[in-house]
Structure 1
Amino acid sequence: MRGELHGGAPVHRDRILNLNPNGDSRDTSSVLFTICNLDTMRLAGPLRAVAIVFIIGLTWLLASSILGGGSVMKMFFMGTQEEPTPEPWPHRYKCGLSAPCPPKHLAFRVISGAANVIGPKICLEDKILISSVKNNVGRGLNVALVNGVTGELLETSSFDMWEGDVSDLLKFLRPLHEGTLVFVASFDDPATKMNDEARRLFEELGSTAVKELAFRDSWVFVGAKGIENKSPFEQRMKNSKSSNKYEGWPEALEMDGCIPLRAPLET
């Protein structure tokens, strides 16, 4: 075998040993290393590109998972399926009603006190008239007077029916004008000091439960001065050891609805 290289002829590995003019193989290892290096460099380019693409893709998936809550990961592995549209939150109407009131009606919610711990609350047209937060509640009967024509708040007061003077309640109820709306929520004890006249005045406002209202009963009521029929807005929970939710008290009552505004009186 000759050691000459012909122009343009490929160099084969089986002829590498003859490339040395002296006929020895001292530089064979270096030549082999050079050729292996060339082969490695040919492979390094594509491998480096694959590695870069893999790293970029992994970084994108991790970032999308952190910022997008995992939906991008699901789309990547499971296909481009649209996320289900979440159900909208239920609409909140005035005073928390489940539906809006008709025109010329007032939305209200009345909640009695719970035992002698949590005070009552009266809401009208999304405005809180009486609550512990407003610091205008008291033991006994909590009452709000509202103009039945305009819906304007006239006055709020509380009457202690355990140790108070019932005459204060009578003075409050006697002079009511025709069409005045009366909202009542009990707290603790609504009836110990209640006398016949007080019960009669509430009956004239449309109450039917006030006749039997007793010690520590829960009571919510909405009536009006001059009402022709009995009020549809009234609830009473009797104080009974066998059914009381709390020790010594029945559960709190909650009532809501829509009250029609009264037509202006003809003058």
Structure 2
Amino acid sequence: MKTETDNRVVGIIGGTGLTSLAELEVVGRQAAATPYGVPSSALTRGSLQGQSVVFLSRHGNPHRIPPHEVNYRANIKALYDAGVRTVVGVNAVGGIHPDMEPACVVIPDQIIDYTWGRSGTFFEGDLENVTHIDFTWPYDQAARDILIQAATAHDVAFSGFGVYGATQGPRLETAAEVRRLEQDGCDLVGMTGMPEAALAAELGMRYVCLGLVVNRAAGKSDQVVSMEEIEAAIEKGMSGVHRILEASVAKLAALTDLPS
């Protein structure tokens, strides 16, 4: 697989409901290797609306890797080594904020990490210096603006704000846990937002989240969360995710001042 270094290739990490991109004109696949192990799936390189894209399935294809066992470091490093400098992480999430109904798309602006035990940094081991990154704004604002513009232009139901509460999984949360998340300021909840965003930041990559609400969070409706509800929301809302991606990739690739 040819490595591109002109910052014009966009990486898309697909989550639950997005193990492949049917619209992608595939030109090659490669089973990548990194110092941190192998990524969740082969890297699929192709063209989406004429734009070079590298796609990676976060949970594998078929969907088999639970959130707490995803090798986030290998995934991000493999994309970086493939020339990706802008990443769109697609995530299935639960809606806490009343505006975040099932099948709605959310483009969050903040995140709170409640996960534990995950390998969450490249800066460990035999280091010459201790390194701290600024993580004030975990999602790239220029990339967020592009996704928001695409959602608006293509009439996709979306929220252009949100604090993502990243939980451990793989179980769903209790109603009490969701109340705590809400008190902490979280608008949505998911299991894969961290450490993915922080790892991308450590490598100097632009990172943005495209969340699809697949259920109301525990205690936020009169019914318990069911897989049938989640699957129905994915089927209804994923078309909006695809429209946003198709409309955004060329503009994301055109962003300047990216690391080489």
TM-score (norm 1): 0.29
Which structure: larger Rg?
1
TM-score (norm 2): 0.29
Higher RCO (C-alpha 8 Å, min separation 6): 2
